[in-house]
Amino acid sequence: MQNLAPAFIEPRNATHRQYEALRAFFVDGRPQAEVAKTFGYSVGAFRVMCCVFRKDPHREFFIQPRRGPKKMADIQENIRERMVALRKQNLSIYDIAEHLKADGRSLTAPAIAGILKEEGFSRLPRRRDEERHHRNGPDKAPVANAGELDLTTRHFSTKFGGLFLFMPMLARLPFAKIISEAGFPGTKMIPADHAVRSILALKLFGNARHTHVMSDVFDEGLGLFAGLNIIPKTSFLSQYSCRVKPQTHPLLLRSWFDAIKDLGYEHGTSFDLDFHTIPSHGEDPMLQKHYLSRRSRQQKGILAFVANDTHNRAFCYVNADLRKETQNDEILRFIEFWKQKSGRLPEELVFDSTFATYAMMNELNRMGIKFITLRRRSQKLMDEINATPSSAWQRIQLENVARAYRTPRILENKITVKDYEGLLRQFAIRDLGHEQPTILITNYMRKAPRNLIGRYAQRMLIENNIADAVDFFHMDALSSTVALKVNFDLTATVLASTLYRLFASRIGNGYQTAKFARIFRDFISASAHIDIDETRITVRFQKRAHNPMLINAGFDKEEIRIPWLQNKRLTFLLG
């Protein structure tokens, strides 16, 4: 006969061992020391165990048996007829699951699908929304329509209150005329200027490339800014940029910069030029590979030309219709654009070594345009520089440059290069924070070295400014709920960046050079209460730390008619 005693005196788990030990002491009356030794406890530990058990003698050592899941055969037998009846009502497996759950019978969709398949039902064909069984879903917003805008006396709250701080600037511009003359399309329900203001509002608010626009579609403030009853849906915003012809973008930029002169926007004479690769993660065979600085590698993407006004720290020209074989000619297109817009050529251009060929630099010099750029480090050039004695190097002091390396050493030479007529000044620069010398070339023949090198050192700040705009205005996000054409997105970025700089210059207090994200955080990201009456629209902000700066800038005294809101006067209450 099998000996089963070890199953009791040699327990396999802690709970069973505690039970047998306590039973031996309290029921069999065995001494504590003997029980502790038998079941592997120290005498002290077993004494504590006994004390705890005396305080709670009704402790449960055995788990109550639970009913296990029924076999599929039993489930099928009980609810099979119910499923068949529901499928005959043209309900999907998910609708059937909800009905069964309401009846207190929880069953997964795959299990329901298996049973229905056994009963001979095939999958339902794809149905239109009106053919589906009614289910609770997202509320549908009204269709965007300028004619449905309600400007009667009413009150509402909006989280986009900060956007209205840009409205006085837009109201002082002939915005509708600019958009119309540039050739932007529109409809009776959504005119062209209303459509562009809708996209501009999302761009100004810097909200993850408009990915979450549908969650804000019911915010009346967002629609009011655009002059609509509600902001257009993502389908309209995505398709609208495809309807805009490519030639309209430079026309818009020319008219835009002509108009904002009246707002105090002064154009600079020095420009930083750069290429920016907008990465693509698709398989488009037409896209070329370009250098992506963020990842330090070549990757398929769209190459965009960006011109940054050094004086205003804002974009003044963009173009994304570039190919590798034509990218060097883009600098001439920018010069032509600027000449048509301002009536004069740029005075100074600063760019990297890959931006223009020596032949292109010769053309710039022939036009009287000064330039500062880098020269690529060839092995021969580096050998010549390294062979130069230390006594030939000169120490200079950089001024008005906020950086750690302000006292670099320079080696100046006049050089000739292929395809360039005449001489160029070359500076080899050490102690700028790089292991290898920086090689700078320019057609400035008389300007002081510290001024030239200091100007190029500022380019790092400009590159940071460009990176700030790329990040805040989400220029790299090609896939999102609102899929804008790249050129349209870049044009909207130019408009938004200039509005931010105009706003910052009005605020003052150092915000002229602040990053877009900081301006947004301190002023634009603000909820407000909107009061509309017969003659005016009042935007009432809550009390915030930076409201005094808005008061100093005169926003509390602002009162301007808004043409696209029936000429009602816009005023601000700043707590």
100 lies in the same domain as 164? no
Residue 403 lies in a domain: no
> What contacts 191, CB < 8 A, 6 or more positions away?
146, 176
Number of domains in the chain: 3
Q: What is the pLDDT of residues 378-421, one digit of tens each?
A: 888 888 888 888 888 888 887 765 556 678 888 988 999 988 99
Q: Name the β-bridge partners of 371.
A: 349
Which residue type sits at 43? Answer: V
Q: Identify whether residues 143 and 127 lie together within a single domain.
A: no
Instruction: Kindly state whether residues 550 and 504 are assigned to the same domain.
Output: yes
Which pLDDT score is estimated for 1?
54
Q: Per mean pLDDT, which range of 44-48, 288-292, 345-349, 458-462 is the poorest?
A: 288-292
| Cα 290 from Cα 348, distance rounded (Å) | 26
Domain-located, residue 311 = yes
Edge-first strand listing for the sheet containing 568-573: 154-158, 528-532, 536-541, 568-573, 560-562
Q: What is the CA radius of gyration of the chain?
A: 36
Confidence at 241, pLDDT banded by 50, 70, 90: confident
Name the pLDDT band for 151 (thresholds 50, 70, 90).
very high
Among candidate residues 185, 239, 142, 264, the one with its CA nearest the CA of residue 512: 264
Domain boundary among 84, 103, 131: 131
* Chain centroid, CA 455 distance in Å: 31
pLDDT at 209: 47
Is there a single domain that holds both residue 28 and residue 149?
Answer: no
376 is a domain residue? no
Residue 124 lies in a domain: yes
Q: How confident is the model at residue 568 (pLDDT cuts 50, 70, 90)?
A: very high
Distance separating alpha carbons of residues 427 and 408, to the nearest angstrom: 11
Residues 541 and 564 in one domain: yes
Say yes or no: 122 and 144 in one domain: no
pLDDT at 480 over 50: no
Residues 106 and 144 in one domain: no
Residue 399 domain flag? no
Same domain, 295 and 187: yes
* Whether residue 127 sits in one domain with residue 187: no
Indicate whether 125 and 142 sit together in one domain.
no
Give CA torsion, residues 361, 366, 370, 375, to 10 deg.
Answer: 20
| pLDDT, tens digit, 9 for 90 and up, residues 322-343 | 777 677 778 888 898 888 878 8
- Return the exposure string of 347-362: e unless at least 16 CB atoms fall within 10 Å of the residue's CB, then b: ebbbbeeebbeeebbb
Distances (CA, A) of 554 to 168, 265, 392, 537: 12, 18, 57, 17
Which residue, 114, 131, 148, sits at the end of a domain?
Answer: 131
Looking at the DSSP assignment, which residues form a beta bridge with residue 441?
A: 373, 426
Q: Report whether pLDDT(473) > 70.
A: yes
Least confident of 80-89, 200-209, 552-561: 200-209
pLDDT tens readout for residues 438-454: 889 999 998 888 888 88
Which domain does 43 fall in, by range? 6-55
Give the residues across from 303 on adjacent strands. 277
> Is 183 found in the same domain as 81?
no
